[in-house]
Structure 1
Amino acid sequence: MFKLLGRDLAIDLGTANTLIYEQGRGIVLNEPSIVALRQEGNRKIPVAFGAEAKVMLGRTPDGVKVIRPVRTGVIADFEVAGLMLSHFLSKARKKSHSLLKPRVIVGVPSGITEVEKRAIRESIEGAAREVKLIDEAMAAAIGCKLPITEATASLIVDIGGGTTDIAIISLKDLVYSVSVRQGGDAMDEAIINYMRRRHHLLIGESTAELVKKTIGSAHPDYDAQEMEVRGRSLTSGAPSALNISGKEIREAISEVVSTIVAAIRQALENTPPELSGDIISHGISLAGGGALLKGLDRLISEELNVSARISDDALAAVAEGAGKCLDSMEIYSEVLF
């Protein structure tokens, strides 16, 4: 009977993807945080959401716009984010057959303002009976099964689309946390700019993302990879294609990667000496889609002399961690706000 009354949900509202975890069932939705809209007068009419809208990126007819309502981990377009969330929530709840509105936990970047917190709460309040927030780095640490309840330090780096959240956690509390507004999207942008500047080739967001996933890397070991990149030539205006090496893409995204490594180094420098020993023995845990960049774990290990490992399900770590809070409220209630 309890299951019919309401299964609570955990949401990872990411710049790139939105994941929904349902209590007792795990991840029930994983869709790109993208909406395709048609503007009619003052009204915004949604045409497609998620994966369906992502396919339209750079290919839309006149009058249809593809929007990412979440930028750098916070809501940039309140109205569109509300439409997207209510669509995703109703899609997730359709599968659960519950009668009551669920309680919802949402992961947010560390250091967001009260105004940004309120925007997230308000965009979900209509579909939930109670909204709680959790720091994304804390949720990722729980999702990576780190011993956050013990008196030992864990260093988590959650590299998302819009932000990289870094935190040192001990005894269910953040000893140090920082959110850098650099992530997977900044890498895509760097690739677009590099192709335009170096090869006079104009490429779209989807192509840049494909290049990053195929031959993008942070370590010279992957420099020999090659792929054909297609776009529009800026010199002739005609469609054009050329072969690009992994080395070029590594150089293109090196500034973003360096920013992330520098932020991790700063976190290590701000660690109390007693906890530094714990981090040396446990290493650095990497989560988020950006952690899957080839060779990033090796580069971090070499640059900082601390072992780094990618968590088992890096993409779902925040949603899984927030979901575990639903399952064990008595243990994790202090980490919610």
Structure 2
Amino acid sequence: MPQASSSKTASSRDIGIDLGTANTLVYARGHGIVLNEPSVVAVKAGTTTALAVGAEAKETIGRTPGSITAIRPLKDGVICDYEAAEEMIRHFVRKAVPGRRTRTRTRMVICVPSGVTQVERRAIVHASTRAGARTVHLIEEPMAAAIGAGLPVAEPRGSMVVDIGGGTSEVAVISLGGIVTSQSLRVGGDRLDAAIIDYVRKEHALLIGERTAEDVKVGIGSAWPVPDRPELETRTFTVRGREKVGGMPKTLELTAPDVRTALDEPVEAIIAAVRTTLEECPPELSGDVMEHGIVLTGGGALLPGLDLRMASATGIPVYVADNPLDCVALGSGRCVEDLDTLSSLLAPAKG
């Protein structure tokens, strides 16, 4: 779930990047999170010329003329458009780390899904190097999320984290500074939006766009009835779209139960991944997870009722982390603050 973009300058040469499918966050050493903008690039059609990047580019989605294309360079947590990704990283690094000479010496820690292939890892490293990084280190997203959420990842104790981002959901059990067992599921906020689009199309023969679906999800979306918030059940949301048959503009009023039905399949897929991870977890660590619970991070953690539904399905307490949207970036930032000490948590980044 996107957050308002923000940025401020910093003089640090070491940065951590949560290179997300929906949003990119940049953490500068000694300054904290200095940039949070949508992962979108607007380019001139038929060229690689970037006309806008980030928040400005997102405003063009679904509203561009034929001469401009709005591109999301990452899909399912990995690069799908290399040139646009390189331009986007370069643009964000320029905003976060001012000064040409400073940027050329920048060391980067970049978060990647735990299920990415070596080819996908090399693409991220190469794009970051071309964007100006002196060295690039990779850290798996569930590890970064656990660090950012304050879990004791270095202790001989099982900690379970579920990070639900825009393109992927990462489920992992962590102990002694390593991931013991994990699942990387290419289901996240984008899939939730797509489920709403499909539901409205099939049930009401109405075509709506990605931005409208996202507004519906944020406005009245839920995964489970929330006893403490009964007002959520009575909320409605008016959407405007185009009739599937006839093509005329039309408005439709959706209810909270309608949207919960639409979201049922992707939510259940995330819970199934949690069950699978628990089944593969060593018994001793399973006991730790039972005692200390599961921590939710990422934008998807903000979906009302998700913690209750997951707890009901697993029989384990589920908690939403403080600042779930920032956990991965904060985890990468912790590594940036002390690269030498925490180097064992970073994956080798060979380009």
Instruction: Identify the TM-score tier after normalising by the shorter chain.
Output: over 0.9
**Residue 220 of structure 1 aligns to a residue in which SS?**
coil
CA contact (8 A) 1:6 1:99 kept: no
Q: Tell me, in whole angstroms, the C-alpha distance in 2 between the residues paired with 1:263 and 1:61.
A: 40
Deviation string 1:87-118 (CA, Å, 9 cap, x unpaired) is 11111112899475211000000121111011
Moved more, 226-235 or 125-134: 226-235
In the other structure, the counterpart of 2:318 is 308
**Residue 48 of structure 2 aligns to a residue in which SS?**
strand
Deviation string 1:8-42 (CA, Å, 9 cap, x unpaired) is 000011110111000010011101111111035xx
Of the three residues 215, 221, 238, the one matched with 1:216 is 221
- Where structure 1 has 5 or more consecutive residues not aligned to the other structure, the ranges are none
Residue identity over aligned pairs, in percent, reads 48
- Where structure 2 has 5 or more consecutive residues not aligned to the other structure, the ranges are 1-9, 227-231
In the other structure, the counterpart of 2:248 is 238
Moved more, 166-175 or 97-106: 97-106
- Return the offset for 1:5: 8.2
- Return the offset for 1:131: 0.3
CA contact (8 A) 2:41 2:72 kept: yes
Q: Tell me, in whole angstroms, the C-alpha distance in 2 between the residues paired with 1:140 and 1:146.
A: 9
In the other structure, the counterpart of 2:289 is 279
- Root-mean-square deviation (CA, aligned residues, Å) is 1.6
In the other structure, the counterpart of 2:28 is 22
| Structure 1 position 265 matched with structure 2 position 271 | no
**Residue 30 of structure 2 aligns to a residue in which SS?**
coil
| Structure 1 position 327 matched with structure 2 position 328 | no
Q: What residue identity is the alignment partner of 1:213?
A: V
Q: Tell me, in whole angstroms, the C-alpha distance in 2 between the residues paired with 1:268 and 1:99.
A: 43
CA contact (8 A) 2:45 2:66 kept: no
| Structure 1 position 298 matched with structure 2 position 304 | no
In the other structure, the counterpart of 2:5 is none
In the other structure, the counterpart of 1:72 is 76
Return the TM-score normalized by structure 1. 0.95
| Structure 1 position 247 matched with structure 2 position 252 | no
Q: Tell me, in whole angstroms, the C-alpha distance in 2 between the residues paired with 1:77 and 1:296.
A: 32
CA contact (8 A) 1:5 1:100 kept: no
CA contact (8 A) 2:160 2:171 kept: yes
Q: What residue identity is the alignment partner of 2:310?
A: I
How many correspondences in the alignment?
332
Q: Structure 1 segments of 4 or more deviating over 6 A?
A: none
| Structure 1 position 34 matched with structure 2 position 40 | yes
In the other structure, the counterpart of 1:168 is 173
Aligned CA distance change for structure 1 residues 241 and 13 (closer, same or farther; 3 Å):
same
Q: Tell me, in whole angstroms, the C-alpha distance in 1 between the residues paired with 2:119 and 2:219.
A: 38
Q: Tell me, in whole angstroms, the C-alpha distance in 1 between the residues paired with 2:70 and 2:343.
A: 38
- Return the offset for 1:172: 0.1
Deviation string 1:244-274 (CA, Å, 9 cap, x unpaired) is 1011111111000000000001111111111
